[in-house]
Amino acid sequence: MEEDFVEKILLGASVFRDERSLFPEFLPQKLPRREEEISRLATDFRPLIQKKGSFAINIAITGTAGVGKTAVARYCGKHIKNAAKKKGIAIKFILYNAHTFRTKTSILRNLLTDHFNVTARGFSDEEILGMLVKRLEKDDMRLIITLDEANLLGSDEILSIIHASEVFGIGRSRISTIIICRRTEWRAILNAPLSGHIHDQINIPGYTRDELVDILTYRAQLAFNPGVISEEIIEMVAEIASQTQNARHGIEILLRAGKMADYEHNSEINAENVRRAKVGVYPELRPDVLDDLNDHELLTALGLARRLKHHGITATTINEAYKYYQIACEEKGFKAQSMSAFRKYVSHLDSVGIIGKAVGPLGRGRRGRRARITLYDLPATVLEERVLKILELHNKK
């Protein structure tokens, strides 16, 4: 072993120009193919910059995983701040992710201590709010609070943040909100009081293959040295990510494929790098969720995936799903369990976020509103593929 081989690696060539530009927290200068949503959000917030007086604007942004909800909000926030500065208006834009800040109280406390240098210890939520509102008035400042993954807060907590400034009288509110939520989860938390406060709801659609080609071409330019990645390889990645319509999916593959090229001391990213990189990138699901399921839960997921992968079917019923579960059991050599056991498997899949249960329409050409089972964001074909792999592994043991 040569003594300086670690230094050779550390100082050696890389396919990356800026690897960090592919990290999740990186906000690019541009968001190609999201011009429409960005314009709409900016238009919604224009009164805050152009009109005198104080009022609140509350906007919801929904959409499936990786379609740019967080990126669009952060992007607009940055430009709202710049525009406000030009107008001599003080606006603070602050984003809270409810994974980290799980309650209204923790958000309010953080707001005061981190952004207004006020110690909030020992005060009630109402007192904190009072202090905040007074401070905003004194400084003649507006606040835009973005609540990301807001479903984790629930509608009551969201409402109380929206209500916060209204307590001090209509026309005196200085706190606006952007509420970000995946679409299925938004439906679950949306109720009449909440929807009464939302001025606009922006539904962001998934990305098509062509849109992903544009986005990934741009992101690759930021991340890689010239000549490292060809158009064909970018198209290949876009093709894969178009299955989930998720930009994060594509960006993660770019990052992993680049790392693989570096490990192999290649100066270019090749198709094999991409094939290997795509394995295990399932950006909408916590990676270990499926690994923790038992055989019958997996067979339940398999049956559901097969039922729901047919075009135009958005949801199924428990009876219908049970039939598909029975077929899956037969095929894999398991004895199908009773309906009541099956209901438990379905409940479990629901609680870990793989599927959703709700009451609503069943999809194209299928009448009636019934208790229905649907997939949370994860495409049925991807679920089927993954479940089959895990079942295989279980049965080899």
Ligand X SMILES: Nc1ncnc2c1ncn2[C@@H]1O[C@H](COP(=O)(O)OP(=O)(O)OP(=O)(O)O)[C@@H](O)[C@H]1O
Nearer to ligand X, 35 or 292 (CB): 35
The three-state secondary structure class of 155 is helix
Q: Which does 183 bind (CB under 5 to 8 A by kind): ligand X, Mg ion, none?
A: none
Q: Which residues contact 213 (CB under 8 A, 6 or more apart)?
A: 234, 235, 238
How many alpha carbons lie under 13 Å from residue 26 in its C-beta half-sphere?
A: 16
Query: Given candidates 132, 190, 247, 293, which one binds ligand X under the rule CB under 6 A?
Result: 247
Query: Given candidates 5, 9, 18, 24, which one binds ligand X under the rule CB under 6 A?
Result: 24
Q: Give the span between the Cα atoms of 124 and 104, in whole angstroms.
A: 11
Query: Given candidates 34, 92, 296, 306, which one binds ligand X under the rule CB under 6 A?
Result: 34
- Bridge partners of 334, per DSSP, are none
Neighbours of 129 (CB within 10 A): 23
Residue 57 in tokens: 């604007």
Nearer to Mg ion, 186 or 324 (CB): 186
CB of 70 to Mg ion, least distance (A): 3
Q: Give the span between the Cα atoms of 128 and 219, in whole angstroms.
A: 42
Query: Given candidates 21, 37, 68, 253, which one binds ligand X under the rule CB under 6 A?
Result: 68
Using the contact rule CB under 6 A, the part of the chain among 32-40, 158-166, 314-322, 356-364 near ligand X is 32-40
* Binding of ligand X by 387 (CB under 6 A): no
What's the one-letter identity of residue 322? Y
Q: Which does 307 bind (CB under 5 to 8 A by kind): Mg ion, ligand X, none?
A: none
* Binding of ligand X by 278 (CB under 6 A): no
Please tell me the count of residues contacting ligand X according to CB under 6 A.
20
Query: Given candidates 57, 65, 234, 391, which one binds ligand X under the rule CB under 6 A?
Result: 65
Residues, the chain? 397
Range 203-242, binding ligand X (CB under 6 A) = 215, 219
* Binding of ligand X by 182 (CB under 6 A): yes
CB of 101 to Mg ion, least distance (A): 14
Nearest to 320 by CA among 303, 295, 344, 299: 303
* Binding of ligand X by 143 (CB under 6 A): no
Site residues (vs ligand X, CB under 6 A):
24, 28, 31-34, 63, 65-71, 182, 215, 219, 247-248, 251
